[in-house]
Amino acid sequence: MRNGGWKNLFRRGDAFWDAAKPSNIEARDGTIDRSKVFWDDLFVEEIKQSVRACGVFFLIPIFLLADGGIGAMENTQSAAMKLDGVPNDVINNFNSIVIIVATPIMVC
């Protein structure tokens, strides 16, 4: 993070993870202090794969908000709102819509 890792955090590609690999640190700095860098390139790849696999769990709060009791409460409140042609049960369908739209975005 110290050497510009934050800039690469949300960019496409593996620049964020490549900066943490000891082989890249050694190429950049010329030497590695093994008392501070105690991991290897395979460990960085495994962490990258684990973080990407856990990205699916970011959809759980949306599911719980729309599918649980809060969704029913939102539906009741939306009946009293100005609708402008949108049916008030759209909140109940929001869960399915978000999962269909957000899943491909999260996987990329």
Residue ranges of the domains in the chain? Answer: 6-39, 56-107
- For 45-104, how does the pLDDT look when each residue is reduced to its tens digit (9 = 90+)? 998 888 888 877 877 777 776 666 666 676 677 667 777 777 766 766 777 777 788 878
C-beta pairs of 18-25 under 8 Å, 24+ apart in sequence: 20/44
H helix runs in the chain, sequence order: 15-18, 22-29, 41-54, 60-67, 69-78, 90-107
Tell me what the mean pLDDT of segment 36-50 comes to: 88
CA dihedral (20, 22, 23, 29) positive or negative: positive
Q: What is the pLDDT of residue 8?
A: 63
CB 25 within 8 A of CB 37: yes
